[in-house]
Amino acid sequence: MKLKQGNYLLAGIGLLTVVLLYLVFWVVPPAQGLGNYVRIAFFHIPVAWVSVLAFLMSAGWGAGYLRRRDMRFDALSAASARFGLIFVVLATVSGAVFSKLTWGAYWNWDPRQTTIFVLLLIYGAYLTLRAVMPEPTRRARVSAVYALFSFLTVPFLVFIIPRLFFSLHPSPVINGSGSVAMEPVMLATLLVGLLDATLIYAWLVRKSVSGRDKEVLA
pLDDT at res. 213: 52
Within 10 Å of residue 107's Cβ, how many Cβ atoms?
14
pLDDT per residue rounded down to tens, the chain (218 residues): 445 666 889 999 999 999 999 999 999 999 887 889 999 999 999 999 999 999 999 999 999 999 999 999 999 999 999 999 999 999 999 999 999 998 899 999 999 999 999 999 999 999 999 999 999 999 999 999 999 999 999 999 999 998 888 777 766 554 444 445 578 999 999 999 999 999 999 999 999 998 665 544 33
The packing angle between helices 2-22 and 184-212, to 10°, is 150
In terms of Cβ atoms closer than 10 Å to its own Cβ (0-12, 13-18, 19+), residue 96 is: middle
pTM of the predicted protein model: 0.90
Instruction: Let me know the angle formed at the C-alpha of 158 by 200 and 109, rounded to the nearest 5 degrees.
Output: 110
Instruction: Let me know the angle formed at the C-alpha of 142 by 140 and 144, rounded to the nearest 5 degrees.
Output: 65
pLDDT at res. 62: 98
Between CA 100 and CA 78 the distance in angstroms is 33
Between CA 216 and CA 213 the distance in angstroms is 5
Between CA 9 and CA 202 the distance in angstroms is 9
In terms of Cβ atoms closer than 10 Å to its own Cβ (0-12, 13-18, 19+), residue 210 is: middle
pLDDT at res. 168: 74
Helical H segments across 132-174, by residue range: 136-151, 154-155
Of the candidates 79, 116, 78, 119, which has an alpha carbon nearest to the alpha carbon of residue 98? 116
pLDDT at res. 178: 42
Q: For 114, left (φ over 0), alpha (ψ -120 to 50), or beta?
A: alpha
Answer for the pair 96, 124: CB distance below 8 angstroms, yes or no.
Answer: no
Within 10 Å of residue 15's Cβ, how many Cβ atoms?
11
pLDDT at res. 4: 65
